[in-house]
Chains A and B, each alone.
Chain A
Amino acid sequence: MLSPEIKGAVRLGEVVKSASTVCTVQCYQLEGAPPLGSFVRAGGGPATATADAVYGVVAAISAEPLEPGRPVLARGEAAVSEEEVYRSSPQLARLLTSRFEMLLIGRQAREGFQAALPPVPPRIHTFVYGCTKEEIVGCTERLGFLPLLLDAGSLASAEVVAACLRTAAEVYPDRGQFLLRAGRALAGELSGDLPALNSILRRIIL
Chain B
Amino acid sequence: MTHGLQRDQNGGLLPGAPVGLVVGGSLTQGVEVRLDGAATVEDIKAGTFLTIQGGRQRYFGVVTDIALGSSDPRMKHTPPQPGEDFLVQVLSGIVAYGAVTVMPSVTLPSVLGDEESPPPAKTIPPHFARAYTAAPRDVELVFGREDENHFWIGNPLDMETKLCLDLDKLVQRSIGIFGKSGTGKTFLTRLLLVGILQRNRASSIIFDMHSEYGWSGQDADRRRVVKGLKQLFPSQVSTFTLDEASSRRRGSPVDEVVGISYGDVEPEDLLTLRETLNLSEVAAGAGFNLERKFGPGKWLREFLARQGQDDVKELAEDVGINQQALLTLHRRLSQLTRYEFFTDQAPKDAAVQIIEHAEKGRHVALEFGRYGNDPTAYVLVSTLLCRRIHKRYIDLKEQAAGGGGREPRPLVLVIEEAHKFLSPAIASQTIFGIIARELRKYNVTLMVIDQRPAAIDSEVMSQLGTLLTCRLDNEKDVEAVLAGTPGARQLRTVLSRLESRQQALLFGDALPMPVVVRTREYGSEGSYAELGRKAGLQPDAHQGETAAQRLEREIKELF
Interface residues of A (CB under 8 A from B): 179-180, 183-184, 186-188, 191-195, 197-198, 201-202, 204-205
Contact = CB atoms under 8 A, between A and B. Distances in A.
12 contacts: A180-B90, A183-B89, A183-B90, A184-B37, A186-B90, A187-B95, A191-B71, A192-B71, A194-B75, A198-B80, A201-B86, A205-B86
B485 to A, nearest CB: 38
Contacts of B91: 187, 197
Interface of B: 37, 71-72, 74-75, 78, 80, 84, 86-87, 89-91, 93-95
B87 A202 contact: yes
A173 B284 CA distance: 89
Nearest to A183: B90
A180 B37 CA distance: 12
B90 A201 contact: yes
A20 B177 CA distance: 72
Interface of A is mostly: helix
Given A179-B86, A201-B86, 5 more contacts: A184-B94, A191-B94, A194-B72, A194-B74, A201-B87
Given A184-B94, A197-B95, A198-B78, A191 B86 contact: no
Contacts of A186: 90
Contacts of A179: 86
Contacts of A183: 86, 89-90
Contacts of A201: 86-87, 90
B78 A204 contact: no
Given A194-B78, A194-B95, A198-B78, A187 B90 contact: yes
Interface centre among A179, A180, A197, A205 (most CB of B within 10 A): A197
Contacts of B71: 191-192
A99 B445 CA distance: 90
Contacts of A193: 72
Contacts of B90: 180, 183-184, 186-187, 201
Nearest to A180: B89
A187 B95 CA distance: 7
A197 B80 CA distance: 11
A197 to B, nearest CB: 7
B72 A204 contact: no
A103 B86 CA distance: 27
A204 B89 CA distance: 13
B72 A192 contact: yes
Contacts of A205: 86
Per CB-CB distance, the 7 closest pairs between chain A and chain B, nearest first, are A183-B90, A191-B71, A194-B72, A187-B94, A205-B86, A194-B74, A191-B95
A161 to B, nearest CB: 13
Nearest to A187: B94
Contacts of A191: 71-72, 94-95
B502 to A, nearest CB: 41
B94 A188 contact: yes
B474 to A, nearest CB: 43
Contacts of B87: 198, 201-202
A180 B86 contact: yes
Nearest to B72: A194
A192 B75 CA distance: 10
Contacts of B94: 184, 187-188, 191
A183 B95 CA distance: 11
A184 B94 CA distance: 7
A188 B71 CA distance: 10
A201 B37 CA distance: 18
A184 B75 CA distance: 16
A165 to B, nearest CB: 11
A193 B93 CA distance: 16
Contacts of A188: 94
A194 B84 CA distance: 15
A36 B72 CA distance: 30
Contacts of B89: 180, 183
A166 B419 CA distance: 71
A183 B93 CA distance: 12
A201 B95 CA distance: 13
Contacts of B37: 184
A184 B86 CA distance: 10
A179 B89 CA distance: 11
Contacts of A180: 86, 89-90
B95 A195 contact: no
A195 B74 contact: yes
Contacts of A197: 91, 95
Contacts of A194: 72, 74-75, 78, 95
A204 B86 CA distance: 9
A179 B90 CA distance: 9
A123 to B, nearest CB: 39
Of the listed residues A184, A186, A195, A202, the one surrounded by the most CB atoms of chain B closer than 10 A to its CB is: A184
A32 B91 CA distance: 38
B86 to A, nearest CB: 5
A16 to B, nearest CB: 38
Contacts of B74: 194-195
B88 to A, nearest CB: 10
Nearest to B91: A187
A187 B91 CA distance: 7
Nearest to B85: A205
B438 to A, nearest CB: 59
B69 to A, nearest CB: 11
A194 B77 CA distance: 10
A180 B93 CA distance: 13
A118 to B, nearest CB: 30
B393 to A, nearest CB: 66
Contacts of B84: 202
B268 to A, nearest CB: 70
Contacts of B95: 187, 191, 194, 197
B318 to A, nearest CB: 88
Nearest to B87: A201
Contacts of A204: 86
A198 B75 CA distance: 10
Nearest to A204: B86
A195 B91 CA distance: 12
A14 to B, nearest CB: 38
Specify which of B37, B84, B89, B95 lies most central, judged by the most chain A CB atoms within 10 Å of its CB.
B95
B276 to A, nearest CB: 64
Contacts of B93: 184
Contacts of B78: 194-195, 198
Nearest to B84: A202
